[in-house]
């Protein structure tokens, strides 16, 4: 089996990108190892503070963030990093050619229940000049690579460099990531969706109508029964979609009118959108392709609808169709 190092150490892959991805892989191995022993080491609970998003931080959020910062800042090619757990961009090497945005531990409320969590990352070209938050405000189409590590029964690294999506599985005995899926493919149609149904009453009317039609099953307009899944960790829900298809959404909702959605554009929606599109799927807000959005702020949130291309298109159509129009 091919391992990640030999797959990446190729003459046609920029060495800056190789070094950065291998540093991310080594760090995810370390994070995965610490996840497995977090309760023994006494670092499983809350950190007792909030992050810049006003969300409660887990001790493992803080640890994973520090490990990733250290690992990436040791790579000379990295000019700056941005993290869910940092208020602003953190400068690294002035003459680096890449910048990296990451969510160190997505879905960290799952830690307490020994459920899957993950690390999501997005690698962008570094603009000229001094680093500020503005350096990261690039549309997702400029991403050079994107991926995530999922810490479940197996630690897997899912990666795209813009030519398909590969899955590497950690062999815990050798510490090597081995290629287990060469090219991920998401079927265009599906009978499965993922959404937090408890927010239904807060969604916009088109989303309510779309999901009501799914729930109506065989007797409804869709004329087929749908299954529902919700892991409450985007990494794990997207991982399921890459493996067996489906639609995932965290839509706009009316609970906080100043907030466009829950998921963050730069280190959640964009990298996942690149992975999904590279697997033949689609990734939209309710009205726009996610990868074409011009980010306005570092921690911007967006509505997300991603997965099976045909199903995403259908869901977006509900948002386009105006009643009586
Ligand atoms: O990053 C936010 C996140 O944890 C995602 O990983 C996940 O999809 C979502 O929030 C879960 O939200 P909720 O708690 O509403 O189910």
262 ligand 1 Cβ < 6 A: yes
Token pair listed for 73:
């800042």
Q: Residue 322: what pLDDT?
A: 60
239 ligand 1 Cβ < 6 A: no
Residue 268 CA, closest ligand 1 atom number: 1
Segment 126-150, tens digit of pLDDT: 999 999 999 999 999 999 999 999 9
Q: pLDDT tens string for the chain (325 positions)?
A: 999 999 999 999 999 999 999 999 999 999 999 998 888 888 877 777 776 667 778 899 999 999 999 999 999 999 999 999 999 999 999 999 999 999 999 998 898 899 999 999 999 999 999 999 999 999 999 999 999 999 999 999 999 999 999 999 999 999 999 999 999 999 999 999 999 999 999 999 999 999 999 999 999 999 999 999 999 999 999 999 999 999 999 999 999 878 889 999 999 999 999 999 999 999 999 999 999 999 999 999 999 999 999 999 999 999 997 654 4
200 ligand 1 Cβ < 6 A: no
Nearest CA to ligand 1 atom 4: 107
Residue 235 CA, closest ligand 1 atom number: 6
Q: Residue 323: what pLDDT?
A: 56
Q: For residue 233, how far is its CA from the centre of ligand 1 (angstroms)?
A: 5
**Cα separation values, 194 from 19, 227, 241, 251, Å:** 35, 9, 9, 11
Residue 108 CA, closest ligand 1 atom number: 4
Residue 199 CA, closest ligand 1 atom number: 15
311 ligand 1 Cβ < 6 A: no
Nearest CA to ligand 1 atom 11: 232
Cβ-contact 186, 13 below 8 angstroms: no
Architecture category of domain 192-320 in CATH: 3-Layer(aba) Sandwich (3.40)
Segment (H or E) for 283 = strand 282-284
| Cα dihedral across residues 311, 306, 111, 181: positive or negative | positive
248 ligand 1 Cβ < 6 A: no
148 ligand 1 Cβ < 6 A: no
Residue among 189, 191, 203, 175 at smallest CA distance from 281 = 189
Instruction: Report the residue among 52, 56, 196, 299 best suited for mutation to probe ligand 1: largest number of ligand atoms under 8 A from its CB.
Output: 196
Residue 264 CA, closest ligand 1 atom number: 1
238 ligand 1 Cβ < 6 A: no
196 ligand 1 Cβ < 6 A: yes
Q: Where in the sequence of the chain do the CATH 3.40.190.80 domains occur?
A: 192-320
Q: For residue 196, how far is its CA from the centre of ligand 1 (angstroms)?
A: 9
106 ligand 1 Cβ < 6 A: yes
**Cα separation values, 105 from 110, 145, 157, 187, Å:** 10, 19, 14, 28
Q: For residue 29, how far is its CA from the centre of ligand 1 (angstroms)?
A: 23
Q: Where in the sequence of the chain do the CATH 3.30.540.10 domains occur?
A: 4-181
Architecture category of domain 4-181 in CATH: 2-Layer Sandwich (3.30)
If you write DSSP's letter for every residue of 11-64 in order, what string do you get? TTS-HHHHHHHHHHHHHHHHHHHHHHTHHHHT--SEEEEE-TTSPEEEHHHHHH
Q: For residue 234, how far is its CA from the centre of ligand 1 (angstroms)?
A: 6
Alpha carbon distance 175, 218 (integer Å): 47
Alpha carbon distance 52, 50 (integer Å): 7
Q: For residue 232, how far is its CA from the centre of ligand 1 (angstroms)?
A: 5
pTM: 0.96
Nearest CA to ligand 1 atom 15: 196
């Amino acid at each position: 089996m091919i391992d990640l190092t030999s797959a990446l150490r190729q003459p046609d892959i920029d060495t800056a990108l190789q070094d950065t991805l291998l540093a991310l892989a080594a760090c995810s191995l370390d994070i995965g190892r610490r996840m497995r022993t977090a309760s023994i080491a006494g670092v499983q609970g809350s950190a007792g503070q909030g992050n810049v998003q006003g969300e409660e931080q887990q001790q493992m959020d803080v640890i994973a963030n520090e490990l990733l910062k250290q690992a990436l800042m040791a790579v000379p090619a990295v000019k700056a990093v941005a993290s869910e757990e940092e208020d602003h961009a953190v400068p690294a090497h002035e003459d680096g050619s890449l910048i990296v945005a990451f969510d160190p531990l997505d879905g960290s409320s799952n830690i307490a229940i020994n459920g899957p969590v993950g690390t999501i990352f997005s690698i962008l070209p570094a603009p000229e000049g001094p680093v500020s938050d503005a350096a990261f405000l690039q549309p997702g189409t400029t991403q050079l690579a994107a991926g995530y590590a999922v810490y479940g029964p197996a630690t897997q690294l899912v990666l795209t460099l813009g030519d398909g999506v590969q899955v590497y599985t950690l062999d815990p005995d050798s510490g090597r990531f081995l290629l287990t899926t060469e090219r991920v493919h998401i079927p265009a149609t599906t009978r499965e969706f993922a959404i937090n149904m408890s927010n239904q009453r807060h969604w916009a009317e088109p989303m309510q109508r779309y999901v009501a039609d799914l729930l109506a099953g065989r007797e409804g307009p869709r004329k087929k029964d749908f299954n529902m899944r919700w892991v409450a960790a985007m990494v794990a829900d997207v991982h399921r979609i890459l493996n067996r298809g489906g639609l995932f959404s965290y839509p706009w909702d009316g609970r906080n009118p100043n907030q466009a959605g829950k998921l963050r554009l730069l280190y959640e929606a964009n990298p996942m959108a690149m992975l999904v599109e590279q697997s033949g799927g689609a990734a939209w807000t309710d009205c726009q392709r996610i990868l074409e959005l011009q980010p306005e702020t570092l921690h911007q949130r967006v509505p997300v609808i991603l997965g099976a291309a045909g199903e995403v298109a259908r869901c977006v159509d509900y948002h386009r169709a105006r009643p009586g129009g």
